[in-house]
Amino acid sequence: MGYSLEFYSLAWDSLRIELSQPRRGILDDARRVKGIGPFHSRSAESALQWRAAIAGVSRALNSGGLDEFELVGDKALAFAVMVRYLGSSLGTLDHASASGKEFRDEFLDRIAGQCFQEPMLGTRLTERAFYGLISLEYPSWGGLTREETRRIVESFRPTAIEARYQVWLDELRDILDAASERDSDVMTLYM
């Protein structure tokens, strides 16, 4: 089994609006098209569970005044479904379960952070709060604003790295270049 860091072109404000003021037609379509875990089923029970999870995300987003609100379980999965549904895929970085720490600490934090001259790159992509919503378990999320994406793409300076990291670095650069060309915010899901 492995994990993926999925990248989506998605305006953060659009996602915030859809999550804070959920529209039933969009929600039903999102579950039907991108449903995962307990939301994949077409049962009435699954539909009720989906609506309860989305209502919980909406309440958390609209609560105001909280610095961070952790989404867990169904609510975190519902957040991921909405990102997948509303976003346009830019690409994915995959790794085996056993190499998770190496992927996050060595590749994202050290190597990619150095090449893109962004020491917080790993944290921004895997553990960044979205309008105060955060997940400390799986799935987790993060992202970059269009301005951050543009800045780090322009700051890219390749360094000599081990061959085993080169594929990830090339894929990450292609993904971020595509987001910069689209002039879009980036949302990530780490699942």
Task: Please compute Rg for the chain using Cα positions.
Answer: 17
pLDDT digits (tens, 9 = 90+) for 60-100: 998 876 678 899 999 999 999 999 999 999 999 998 877 77
For residues 108 and 168, is the Cβ–Cβ distance under 8 A? no
pTM over 0.75? The answer is yes
Q: How far apart are CA 101 and CA 173, in angstroms?
A: 21
Q: What is the pLDDT of residue 65?
A: 60
Q: How many domains does one find in the chain?
A: 1
Q: Which domain holds residue 108?
A: 2-190
* CA distances, 8 to each of 71, 90, 109 (Å): 20, 5, 20
CA distance 58 to 152: 32
Q: Which two tokens stand for residue 166?
A: 């080169």
The 10s digit of each residue's pLDDT in 95-130 is 887 777 889 989 999 999 999 999 999 999 999 999
What the block records as the tokens of 27 is 């929600």
Cα–Cα distance for residue pair 157/39, rounded to 1 Å: 42
Residues 6+ apart with CB under 8 A from 106: 165
